[in-house]
Amino acid sequence: AQKVTQAQTEISVVEKEDVTLDCVYETRDTTYYLFWYKQPPSGELVFLIRRNSFDEQNEISGRYSWNFQKSTSSFNFTITASQVVDSAVYFCALSEADRDDKIIFGKGTRLHILP
């Protein structure tokens, strides 16, 4: 069965600190996709990144970076030098190949960046 666990329900950090959001997944498939979405206070769900199971290279996009480790079934998300605008709920998600693009979402981590 597929499952996504975001153990951190809520995190608060002071602006400019680095913060890592944890994501652990379970799947029996060898081909799958991992995602992160951001939901700011305005409410929309914004796609951030997709990773396929065959690509374990870490990715960096500006202040955002993602660490994918198959050995620990984790896909963690780090924000460097956090800013108040990063305050949001962040969802990790999993999709298995040949499952009609269905995504299983984690319960989300609410991130507060304090000025």
- Report the interface residues with other proteins, using CB under 8 A: 33, 35, 37, 43-47, 50, 91, 95, 97, 100-103, 105, 107-108
First to last CA, the chain: 41
CB of 115 to other proteins, least distance (A): 25
Nearer to other proteins, 82 or 95 (CB): 95
Nearer to other proteins, 53 or 76 (CB): 53
**Cα distance between residue 115 and residue 105, in whole Å:** 29
**Cα distance between residue 101 and residue 61, in whole Å:** 24
